[in-house]
Structure 1
Amino acid sequence: MSTACGAAANPASHFPKFHDYIVERTLLDMAEASGGGKELHLWRQQVQYTVGHTLNDYYSLTPKVRSQTPIQFLLERRWPPQSGAFLSLLHYWEVKNTISDALVRLVSSCHAGEVPFMLYEQWYVPVPELQMNLSIIFQLVWHSRSRGGGLNVQKFMVCGNEEVARGFIHMANVFCRKTFGTPPESVEIHYLMEGERRLYDGNAYTLEASLDYLRLLAVLNGERSSGCADCALKGESRNRAAENSLSRHLLM
């Protein structure tokens, strides 16, 4: 996975970092707890990690090579072996087939022949109003085909979560306005297991509205950072480096 830091992306060293992946993980754990669970299921973490690597592998190819490479082949190389992380062997195959079908539909209709503007890159931008550096990982960002030439931001989630989607839209709005001086043209979020595509107008929120929302999310960022950021795979025999890689790069 690549990490990008442009001129506008250098954080002011005296501001604390606001990590999108920490906030997202906290929201997902809260949703799981409200449903009677304790934390995000390990199979979802593993599949999210796999999806991220697969999409990165696919869109790292040149458009010509990409057109000749079945994404199922790349997915197979990354897919986790059947283990206790899944609910059953049947569940393992149901998830695998659903994700495979979703990715095939996605790449067959998504920006064929184009090169992404951003591909699994982490960016920082200072947000003086909040006294923080916003750290956000963009999975796929494309130049718009419209005359305005804005940015189309894509996010891929194994399972849908409205709070995570809303938080991401606000973070993308703040980032783009602070970095490029304009909101994204659109934000497109895919819920892969549900087979849903949500398309949002990037100008739906003002900068002030998104800053207010990030003020609320900052509480989650602070709690997770100081409390249990290193507990992403609690109870599992995983080392700290693997946990951080899983949460930081591909959980979202």
Structure 2
Amino acid sequence: MLAAENQPEIRFQPFRDYIVERTLLDMAESEKKAGAALPKWRQQVQYAVGHTLNDFYSLTPEVRLQTPIQFILEQRWPPRSGAFSSLLHYWEVKNKVMDSLIRAVSYNRDRYLMPVKLYEDWHVAVPELKMDLSVIFQLVWQMQGGRGEDGLIIQKFMTCRCEEVAEGFFHMVNVFCHKAYGRPPERVELFFLMEGEQRCYPGESYSLAYSLDYLRLLSVLDESPDSGTRSLSGHAGSRGTEEVRCRHLLM
């Protein structure tokens, strides 16, 4: 026992979904126009959406029924600035995002009560890849199956559709759920707000082995220094859970 207790703790290389996601978004923009990066207006809109969802789903179901999400979005929406190409563009984006959020809230209201995860950063060890996988969960619901089995419904909201980010997120979530809970999520639901699109991935769309291979390919995209995240035990890192969560609300 003493020999085991004296063994050094195994530390894996961190793999953070938000860094990989931002890299993929910048790469997608650069493919459209050489040297381009994620537009500032998309960063501002993602920030507003993140805080709007966090504010709204922090309310009890009873209060939510009496609180239009557009009222909260209005408080979080960026003021008119040079980030948008024109005043017309500013209002076009605002109207599309607001319409998509209203429909998403209506969809959730008919199915779920309180999220089990709301803008939380969790991590789990993946020994096969020698990595510490960190995933930000925007909205996660627990669903009761017809045979008494519960599963997780994981929702992600993106300002604009990006196929690389969508596929990468599913594989990260698939690996996370297998390692943390021993099974895949019930399903993953992606909301592309500017396109007004909702996409559903059944949890068993891909095997764990396939998702592990996918993450192995993505692992070169996260080369940043370590930072604090929340572990499965619920303890936060050195920067504090609240700071971590707020940082991730900013795309």
| TM-score band w.r.t. shorter chain | 0.7 to 0.9
Q: TM-score, normalised by structure 2?
A: 0.84
Partner residue of 1:115? 114
One-letter amino acid matched to 2:89: H
Give the C-alpha shift of residue 249 in structure 1.
Answer: 1.0
Question: 4+ residue stretches of structure 1 with deviation over 4 A?
Answer: 244-248
CA RMSD, Structure 1 to Structure 2 (Å): 1.8
Cα distance in 2, alignment partners of residues 131 and 146 from structure 1: 34
Structure 1's 42 and 248: CA in aligned 2 closer, same or farther, altered over 3 A? Answer: same
Contact residue 16 and residue 135 of structure 2 kept, 8 A? yes
Counterpart of 2:20, as a letter, is V
1:1-252 matches, within 5 Å, as 14-36=11-33, 38-112=36-110, 114-147=113-146, 148-222=149-223, 225=224, 248-251=247-250
Q: Is the 8 A contact 1:21 1:248 kept in 2?
A: no
Distance 2:48 2:72 in 1: 10
Structure ranking higher on relative contact order (CA contacts 8 Å, 6+ apart): 1
Q: Which amino acid letter does the alignment assign opposite residue 27 of structure 1?
A: L
Q: CA deviation at 1:146?
A: 2.1
Give the 3-state SS of the residue equivalent to 2:140 in structure 1: strand
**TM-superposed deviation, 1:145:** 3.5
Q: CA offsets per residue over residues 42-77 of structure 1, 9 Å max, x none? A: 000000010010001000000000000010110011
Contact 1:45-1:246 at 8 Å conserved across structures: no
Could you list the runs of 5+ residues in structure 1 that have no partner in the other structure?
1-11, 227-243
8 Å contact from structure 2 (residues 119, 245) kept in 1: no
Gaps of 5+ in 2: 1-8, 226-242
CA distance in 2, matches of 1:250, 1:94: 23
Q: Is the contact made by 2:121 and 2:244 (CA closer than 8 Å) also made in structure 1?
A: no
AA in 1 matched with 2:17: D
Identity of aligned residues (%): 63
Quick one: distance in 2 between partners of 1:246 and 1:123?
10
Q: Please state how far the C-alpha of 1:251 moved relative to its aligned partner.
A: 5.0
Deviation at 1:144, TM superposition (A): 1.6
Q: How many Å separate the matches in 2 of 1:219 and 1:84?
A: 34
- Determine if contact 2:120/2:245 at 8 Å carries over to the other structure: no
1:100 alignment partner AA: M
The size of the alignment, in residue pairs, is: 222
Deviation of 1:15 (Å): 1.1
1:17: how far off? 0.8
Comparing 112-121 with 167-176, greater Cα deviation is found at 112-121
Offset at residue 123 of structure 1 (A): 0.1
- Is the 1:187–1:201 contact (alpha carbons within 8 Å) kept by the matching residues of 2? yes
Question: Residue deviations 1:182-219, cap 9 Å, x none?
Answer: 10010000100000110011111111111100000001
For 2:207, the aligned partner's letter is: T
Query: How far does residue 13 in structure 1 lie from its aligned partner after superposition?
Result: 5.9
The answer as to whether partners of 1:122 and 1:137 remain within 8 angstroms in 2 is: yes
One-letter amino acid of the structure 2 residue matched with residue 83 of structure 1: S
